Amino acid sequence: MTNKTTDSTAKKQKIVIDPVTRIEGHLRVEVEVDENNIVTEAWASGQLFRGIETILKNRDPRDTGLIAQRICGVCTNSHYRASITAVENAYGIVPPRNAEIIRNLVSLALFVQDHLVHYYHLHSLDYVDVVSALEADSEKAAKIAHQWHKQPYNCSQGDLEAVKEKLGSFVNAGRLGLFANGYWGHPEYKLSPEENLIHMNHYLEALRIQREVSKAIAIFGGKTPHPQNLVVGGVTSVMDMLNPQRLNDYLFIIKDTQAFLKRAYLPDVKMVVAAYKDNIKAGFGRGNGSFFCAGGYDLGSFNSAENASNNDSESSKLFVDGVIWGHDFDKVESFDENHITEEASRSWYADEQPTSPYDETTEPHYTDLNTDGTLKTEGKYSWIKAPRYKGQPMEVGPAARMIIGYLKGATLIKPYVQQFMDDTDLELIDFSSTLGRNVARAIEAEVTCDVIFSSVSELIENIKYYNEETWTKYDFDALPTSTKGCAILEVPRGTLSHFIRIENAKVANYQAVVPTTWNASPKDANGKRGPYEEAIVGLHLADPQQPLEVLRAVHSFDPCLACAVHVIDAKGKTLAEYRVPAKMGL
């Protein structure tokens, strides 16, 4: 059971953060803190219901992709692909290898783009004090940048001075725009002015890089967000696939991006890790230690020389599946999607019992907020359902994938993780923390970017030997009219699953269990907290009026929805209200 926080004798206060900014979507977080400013309880609440799953009902199964992708504009390609794959799975249609590769080229580039935008534009301002950067000595900063990489990205004294000037003239013009009213000067900002300047330099540079990676996605996706190149049975962008110039453009963008990851993103994360080593070692933001990864991304025989001789199909996959319970790294179970259930005892839906996603409904049952606008923390309090694996809340995402990949000796992942740990003196347990999640995400960006090249090589080899197939033919009228299927995909924020049940050749039921559903899950009937809640409980807040530590913990999951956090004292009076911008993702 949860530790009840409404102890009238102890001095406790409640903090409401709404909206959580720098996330996608509408998320609220309420926390209760004791007299020592330690968080004793937390509630994460999704504040928007759109009912896309309801809209999908009764449609032609071939059309679900174009609607399901609009679940999210950030993870747009992920839902598109998951939906199409679920339908293919239901009908037993296997798309040609070329289509799989093209789908991977878009998905992998999206990993890179998403992680970059999350780290720099949605998260870094929790660690980087823009105002302090204006005090930096650019000559000193250029030297510091060289401590983290021998060729730091755009970090000459001139580059840094130019950024300082740009920011300076922006600040002097009087309106701070996006940077207004940040927690600038908060005691938990630990970077030096020079380190802040290096980061802000890359913040601006990353705006350009994410635009470039988006172009790479659009080469095969037609556009992004909301690409338009997938159909049940394959992909449509065959003309782009056969155009050597398009392949070349794609590759060169990825090459430039790789340089940014290796010379800016990774070094910047190492710099932050060094500054906050104490927080990591103290396990700030650690959850309950139960992770899973569904595995995936078959990279074929091109990923490494060893694999060419090793016919184990698992080892040709980028991610390997696994389940870990309570930080027990000695035992990694295999993952089985049949253990997934969702329940809604604390969510605003009618269907309360744990149910398989194939059968569950999405019937809203709204019980409102308290009259003062706070959550009814004793009852239903979120639009997010509570997904469980074997009845337990689970954390998904880059940390889960990197820990499991490392433990299972994933050929593509282990060396990168090992290298980073060696460079920074971290251990595997450290990945289960606020900053650890960011470390895992940075390593994953580097890994995914590197493996793109082998995928392109395989595609080129196929085309060279006249395999131009991009679509598997089927006769829709001859397909079964009643069937069901699912897609379980690893996507930037974690494990995404779409479940479809088809009756009379129409969608009878549709459910998406997205990474943020796992991570931002509310409590369940047993009172077990979701991962956000678990990560927040136990945090010490330097200043409850500015709950920066809560924001960092929530942001470290890369949320894809919008939220809110309020501070309420023992008598229930609101002391302060916070809005945390969050990226509401999968």
Partner 1 sequence: MKIVIVGGGIAADYLANSLLSQDASVEVQIISKETYAPYDRIHLCDLVEGSADIQDITLELNPKVQVALNQEVIAIDTQAKQVVCQKQNFSYDYLIIASGSEPRTAFDIEGIDNAVTFRSAEDSFQIANNLQNRNVVIIGAGPIGLELLDTLMRMPQAKKIYLLVRNKTLYSLDLDPSSVALIQKAFERDDRITISFNDQIIDKTVLEGHITQIKTKQLEIENPFIIFGIGIKPNVDFARSSLENDRGIMVDEHMRSSDLFIYAVGEAAQIKASGFTAGHVKECRLQADTAVSHILKTNVQSFERDVAVDGLKVGAFQFTDVASPFYDINDPDNEVVLLRSKSENRIDQYILNHDKLMRFIGVNSNVDALYLKQLIIENQDIDASYLYNNRHENERGRLICSCVGAYQQDLIELVEDNAVTSFIELQPYSNAGRVCGRCKKDVANLISNAHVNPEEVARKKAAKIEANKQAKWDRAKRRIEKFNRLHPKNEISTDHFADALESFDKVSEFNGWVSMMTLNLNLPSEYDHLIHQGVQQMNKLPVIWLELADCSGNSEAFIKSVNPTIDDLILKFISLDYHELLMAASGPQSEHLLDQLIEADKGEYILMVEGAVPLGLNGNFLRIGPNGETGEALLKRVAKNAAAVFAIGSCALDGGVVAAAPNPTGAVGVAEALERDDIINLPGCPVNPINIVGTLLHYIMFAEMPPLDTKNQPLWAYAPLIHDNCERRGHYDAGEFVREWGDEGAKKGWCLYEMGCKGPYADINCSTVKFNEGTSWPVQAGHGCIACGKGKIAFDEYANHRKVIQLPIS
Q: Which structure tokens are listed for 146? A: 């060289």
Q: How far is the CB of 582 from partner 1 (least distance, A)?
A: 8
Measured from the CB atom, the residue of 186 and 281 that comes closer to partner 1 is 186
The residues, ordered by sequence, that sit 6+ positions from 312 with a Cβ below 8 Å of its Cβ are none
Q: Which structure tokens are listed for 13? A: 């206060």
Long-range contact set of residues 247-253: C-beta below 8 Å, sequence gap at least 24: 247/456, 247/459, 247/460, 249/215, 249/216, 249/219, 250/105, 250/216, 250/219, 250/220, 250/456, 251/453, 251/456, 253/212, 253/213, 253/215, 253/216
Nearest CA among 493, 387, 429, 406 for reference residue 289: 429
Q: How far is the CB of 223 from partner 1 (least distance, A)?
A: 4
Measured from the CB atom, the residue of 64 and 483 that comes closer to partner 1 is 64
Nearest CA among 101, 416, 472, 429 for reference residue 282: 429
Contact 392, 290 (CB under 8 A): yes
Contact 559, 516 (CB under 8 A): yes
Measured from the CB atom, the residue of 42 and 403 that comes closer to partner 1 is 42
* Torsion of Cα atoms, 110 then 115 then 117 then 120, to 10°: -160
Q: How far is the CB of 26 from partner 1 (least distance, A)?
A: 6
Q: Which structure tokens are listed for 234? A: 């394959």
Q: Which structure tokens are listed for 391? A: 């009845």
Measured from the CB atom, the residue of 150 and 175 that comes closer to partner 1 is 175
The residues with which 41 forms a beta bridge, in sequence order, are 32
Measured from the CB atom, the residue of 43 and 148 that comes closer to partner 1 is 43
The residues, ordered by sequence, that sit 6+ positions from 539 with a Cβ below 8 Å of its Cβ are 38, 39, 284, 285, 549, 550, 553
Q: How far is the CB of 574 from partner 1 (least distance, A)?
A: 7
d(C-alpha 68, C-alpha 172), whole Å? 45
d(C-alpha 9, C-alpha 7), whole Å? 6
Q: How far is the CB of 218 from partner 1 (least distance, A)?
A: 4
Measured from the CB atom, the residue of 128 and 417 that comes closer to partner 1 is 128
Measured from the CB atom, the residue of 529 and 552 that comes closer to partner 1 is 552
Contact 206, 114 (CB under 8 A): no
Q: How far is the CB of 39 from partner 1 (least distance, A)?
A: 15
Nearest CA among 66, 50, 46 for reference residue 507: 66
Q: In 496-516, which positions are buried (b, 16+ CB within 10 angstroms) versus exposed (e)? A: bbbbbbbeeeebbbbbbbbbb
Q: How far is the CB of 228 from partner 1 (least distance, A)?
A: 4
Q: How far is the CB of 122 from partner 1 (least distance, A)?
A: 7
Q: How far is the CB of 111 from partner 1 (least distance, A)?
A: 15
Q: How far is the CB of 586 from partner 1 (least distance, A)?
A: 11
Contact 41, 32 (CB under 8 A): yes
DSSP track, 210-264: HHHHHHHHHHHHSSSSS---EETTEESTHHHHT-HHHHHHHHHHHHHHHHHIIII
Measured from the CB atom, the residue of 239 and 478 that comes closer to partner 1 is 239
Q: How far is the CB of 178 from partner 1 (least distance, A)?
A: 5
Measured from the CB atom, the residue of 433 and 546 that comes closer to partner 1 is 546
Measured from the CB atom, the residue of 38 and 55 that comes closer to partner 1 is 55
Q: How far is the CB of 410 from partner 1 (least distance, A)?
A: 30
Measured from the CB atom, the residue of 122 and 394 that comes closer to partner 1 is 122
Measured from the CB atom, the residue of 206 and 407 that comes closer to partner 1 is 206
d(C-alpha 511, C-alpha 360), whole Å? 8
